[in-house]
Amino acid sequence: MLLRFSVSNFGSIRDKQELSMIASGAIKDDASGLIDAPELKKEKVLPAAVIYGANASGKSNFVKALAHMQMLVRDSHRRGEPGGGVPLKPFLLDPDYVEKSSAFSMDFVWKGARYAYGFEACATEVLRETLAVWRGGSRAMLFERERDVFEFGRSLKGENRVTEKLTRPNSLFLSAAAQNNHETLRAVAAFFADVLVEKSESKSPGAVALSLAKEAIDERMIGLLCVVDIGVTGIHFHKHEAAEIDDGHLETERNTGGLKEDMSALEWIAEKVSQANRRLQRFENHPIARLGRKSKKGEDTYLSFSDESAGTLQLLSILGPVFRALDEGRVVVIDEFGSRLHTRASELILALFNNKETNPEGAQLIVATHDTNLLNAKGLRRDQVWFTEKDETGATHLYPLTDIETRKGDNLERGYLQGRYGAIPFAGSIADFKKTV
């Protein structure tokens, strides 16, 4: 369960920005969906948060920052090279920040305890790293690190000094501990693997079909598709065809460097065929999914995923992580949420997290979105709404709606579109545009 996440000097985020999932005690909005956390004294936790902002205001960078912290915990020891430095993405619009350190921190509840973990790193090494735990109300330091100087708390059991020797300057101690089976810290690091970061990008029909074929289909996915009234009656699996597996993959691989640009036409075609054959062999035991719809005669007709809309494909792509999070009490973070979905579908997904009956395990949903209709969604609290906005220097600022005076029952969508809360682009006119050309 995520409580807080903060980051500084990453992408368009220059100074420290923090997202809090702690419910505000200053508002009287509906509290029925809030998550009870025995590990906290009096506070309750938000099951969802929605982040709004203009294009290029930093919404995606905030999601990327969370994913970057997750990656460094998971991979900095396993994949980092000695002397290879720390992969970071500093704020580039201010020369003073290019060489400055970046900092990440997270408070979370995991396996019956509350933790606070954070680190600061520059391009060459980890400068600081700390982990603290609350058990029974008192805070205990598990470890603190200043470059290559480590201090361990009395309650941290395990091979601390052995792990210290294995930790390179450019890797996190928590990452090294997880990779070397430290009895306590491996379990703590598992929280980061438990966070599902998704991007609602357009995926090819073949990619979606194969991803569904590799996992057991959740009947709730089909049920939700039926609820949003896109005519789906069921799902069917059949033996794959080369065209379906190949659909949409090769052009993507070429655009992302999968094929060398200096290949001749014949070499490129030969490589495409080779890639298709490799995919056929890789997925020969996986049938292809097709969605059913009623024909004029009332019979189920199963259509190829290449005949499905982009919205249906996007919905199928994110529903797997959504239901996995709900079942297991995990955190799921989705960028560009609802970019190709009808508002009704986005509202239903949000409602699944905001209702204790459908979210008994305390799962959390964090989304970056442009769908302003969600601001008036039933059950959405004002402390669940956040905004990103860039200042005149190009730096992103993240702030909650609760920083602005509002009243329960306000039309939040109208207020946002009217510019009362900031975080929207200047709506210029045609005349303004003509002055630039």
Q: Rounded distance, CA 74 to CA 178, Å?
A: 8
More confident residue, 290 or 66: 66
Range of the structural domain that residue 134 is part of? 1-194+330-428
Q: Indicate whether 304 and 393 sit together in one domain.
A: no
**How are beta strands 35-36 and 331-337 bridged, if at all?**
unpaired
Lowest mean pLDDT among 62-66, 100-104, 209-213, 367-371: 209-213
Q: 386: which strand partners?
A: 51, 400
Domain closes at, from 310, 339, 356: 310
Q: Indicate whether 62 and 126 sit together in one domain.
A: yes
User: Percent of the chain, pLDDT > 90?
Assistant: 55
Burial class (CB in 10 A: 0-12, 13-18, 19+), 61: buried
Residue 210 lies in a domain: yes
Q: How confident is the model at residue 390 (pLDDT cuts 50, 70, 90)?
A: very high
Q: What angle do CA 87, 89, 93 make, to 5 degrees?
A: 150
Lowest mean pLDDT among 28-32, 98-102, 337-341, 395-399: 337-341
Residue 57 lies in a domain: yes
Q: Indicate whether 350 and 286 sit together in one domain.
A: no
Mean pLDDT across 66-74: 95
**pLDDT tens figures, 123-139:** 999 999 999 999 877 89
pLDDT in the model for residue 226:
74
Mean pLDDT across 282-297: 68
Q: Indicate whether 182 and 219 sit together in one domain.
A: no
Domain closes at, from 310, 339, 361: 310
Number of domains, the chain: 2
Closest Cα to residue 306, out of 246, 235, 221? 246
Closest Cα to residue 325, out of 364, 375, 352, 290? 364
Residue 325 lies in a domain: no
How many C-beta atoms lie closer than 10 Å to residue 420's C-beta?
14
Residue 51 lies in a domain: yes
Q: Indicate whether 334 and 374 sit together in one domain.
A: yes
Closest Cα to residue 50, out of 333, 340, 424? 333
Q: Indicate whether 187 and 218 sit together in one domain.
A: no
More confident residue, 83 or 254: 83
3-state SS track over 295-311:
CCCCCEEEECHHHCCHH
Q: Rounded distance, CA 57 to CA 49, Å?
A: 17
3-state SS track over 115-165:
EEEEEEECCCCEEEEEEEEEECCEEEEEEEEECCEEEECCCCCCCHHHHHH
Q: Indicate whether 405 and 336 sit together in one domain.
A: yes
Q: Is residue 86 a contact partner of residue 177, using CB atoms and an 8 Å limit?
A: no
More confident residue, 30 or 437: 30
62-71, 284-293, 420-429: which has the highest mean pLDDT?
Answer: 62-71
pLDDT in the model for residue 32:
94
Looking up residue 355, the CATH number of its domain turns out to be 3.40.50
Is residue 317 scored above 70 in pLDDT? yes
Q: Indicate whether 182 and 223 sit together in one domain.
A: no
Mean pLDDT across 52-78: 94
Q: Indicate whether 101 and 157 sit together in one domain.
A: yes
Q: 106: which strand partners?
A: 5, 117
Q: What angle do CA 85, 99, 163 make, to 5 degrees?
A: 35
Q: Rounded distance, CA 217 to CA 202, Å?
A: 20
Rounded to two decimals, the pTM is 0.84
**pLDDT tens figures, 358-385:** 999 999 999 999 999 999 998 999 999 9
pLDDT in the model for residue 221:
78
What is the DSSP-derived secondary structure letter of residue 28? -
Residue 434 lies in a domain: no
Residue 321 lies in a domain: no
More confident residue, 90 or 79: 90
Residue 17 lies in a domain: yes
Q: Indicate whether 261 and 401 sit together in one domain.
A: no
Residue 320 lies in a domain: no
Q: Indicate whether 337 and 305 sit together in one domain.
A: no
What element of type H or E holds 23?
A: none
Q: Is residue 63 a contact partner of residue 367, using CB atoms and an 8 Å limit?
A: no
How many C-beta atoms lie closer than 10 Å to residue 365's C-beta?
26
Q: Indicate whether 377 and 297 sit together in one domain.
A: no
